[in-house]
């Protein structure tokens, strides 16, 4: 590629900025940019975040830690919901730059995007946050128990959406069962359970890859996720968006809190 191919000859436009990552966007942008060409998934209008905000009684004025913001869709929603400040940590450098594009185009002003590994960030972080948002990240961890332990030290309230391992469902899914070659024992700070190794395989060849930072991760079983949360103090848990038939593996969402007052159930 010639260096001049990186120049734009047209007048400035949102589409010109989005086309820097042409073909890599996962998210469909909201108004007033709903007509631009990006991705197909409504992550800027995500019903899972709407549910979480309802469960938590909102986040107005709160400090938020967001793990793996991807393209800033949830960041945008949290700011619209009145969050006082958002720290969003992204290790994928292309995703990080996409977040900056989204921040500029949508005027996201109360969020700071940090480029780096959020596990390393949490290991040294002394800041306490009102709420942590961890959507689509737990199943990308090599040590998911440690992540839950670290989150328990960063906040008393957590939103989590994740895939999980269910042998009967996974083995019946020809598209993903070959990605689980082995199982091993995982443990951290007094909690132990089975880790189910997941190999990314050919997904690593995709420029828009949005998984973890290693060739593999470890999935937990659903009940082990709940037990792990309770072990690290999250005694109040509300679940929703149960998708055992999700094409990429069973999934669910939850809001977990260390005190009943911080979790507003709507059921």
Flag whether pLDDT at 262 surpasses 80. no
Q: Is 102 inside a domain boundary?
A: yes
pLDDT in tens, 168-223: 999 999 889 999 999 999 999 999 999 999 998 776 665 656 677 688 999 999 99
Q: Is 250 inside a domain boundary?
A: yes
Structural domain boundaries, residue 154: 12-262
- What count of other Cβ atoms lies within 10 Å of the Cβ of residue 45? 18
**Beta bridge partner(s), residue 90:** 115
What is the Cβ-side half-sphere exposure of residue 33, based on CA atoms within 13 angstroms?
25
- What is the pLDDT at residue 207? 63
Assign residue 234 the CATH number of its domain: 3.40.50.150
Q: Is 3 inside a domain boundary?
A: no
pLDDT in tens, 50-105: 999 999 999 999 999 999 999 999 999 999 999 999 999 999 999 999 999 999 99
Q: Is 5 inside a domain boundary?
A: no
Cα separation, 28 vs 42, whole angstroms: 5
Q: Is 215 inside a domain boundary?
A: yes
The H-or-E segment that residue 49 falls in is: helix 47-56
Q: Is 26 inside a domain boundary?
A: yes
Q: Is 68 inside a domain boundary?
A: yes
pLDDT in tens, 136-159: 999 999 999 999 999 999 999 999
Q: Is 175 inside a domain boundary?
A: yes
Q: Rounded to whole angstroms, what are the CA distances from 245 to 48, 170, 201, 239?
A: 17, 9, 22, 16
Structural domain tally of the chain? 1
For the stretch 84-111, what's the b/e string if a residue is b when 16 or more beta carbons lie within 10 angstroms of its beta carbon? ebbbbbbbbeebbebbebbbebbebeeb
């Amino acid at each position: 590629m010639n260096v001049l191919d990186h120049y734009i000859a047209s007048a400035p436009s949102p589409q010109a900025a989005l086309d820097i990552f042409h073909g890599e966007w996962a998210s469909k942008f909201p108004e007033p940019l709903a007509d631009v060409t990006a991705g197909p998934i409504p992550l800027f209008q995500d019903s899972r975040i709407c549910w979480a905000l309802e469960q938590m009684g909102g986040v107005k004025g709160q400090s938020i830690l967001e793990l793996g913001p991807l393209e800033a869709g949830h960041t945008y929603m949290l700011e619209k919901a009145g969050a006082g400040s958002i720290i969003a940590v992204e290790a994928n450098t292309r995703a990080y730059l996409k977040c900056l594009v989204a921040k500029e185009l949508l005027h996201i002003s109360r969020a700071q995007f940090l480029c780096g590994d959020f596990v390393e960030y949490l290991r040294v972080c002394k800041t306490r946050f009102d709420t942590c948002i961890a959507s689509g990240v737990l199943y990308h961890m090599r040590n998911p128990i440690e992540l839950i332990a670290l989150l328990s030290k960063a906040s008393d309230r957590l939103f989590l959406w994740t895939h999980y391992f269910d042998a009967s469902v996974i083995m019946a899914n020809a598209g993903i069962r070959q990605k689980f070659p082995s199982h091993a024992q995982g443990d951290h700070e007094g909690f132990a359970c089975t880790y189910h190794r997941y190999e990314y395989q050919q997904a690593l060849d995709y420029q828009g890859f949005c998984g973890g930072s290693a060739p593999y991760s470890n999935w937990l079983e659903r009940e082990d996720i709940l037990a792990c949360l309770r072990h690290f103090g999250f005694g109040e848990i509300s679940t929703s968006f149960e998708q055992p038939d999700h094409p990429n593996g069973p999934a669910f969402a939850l809001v977990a809190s260390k005190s009943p007052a911080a979790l507003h159930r709507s059921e």
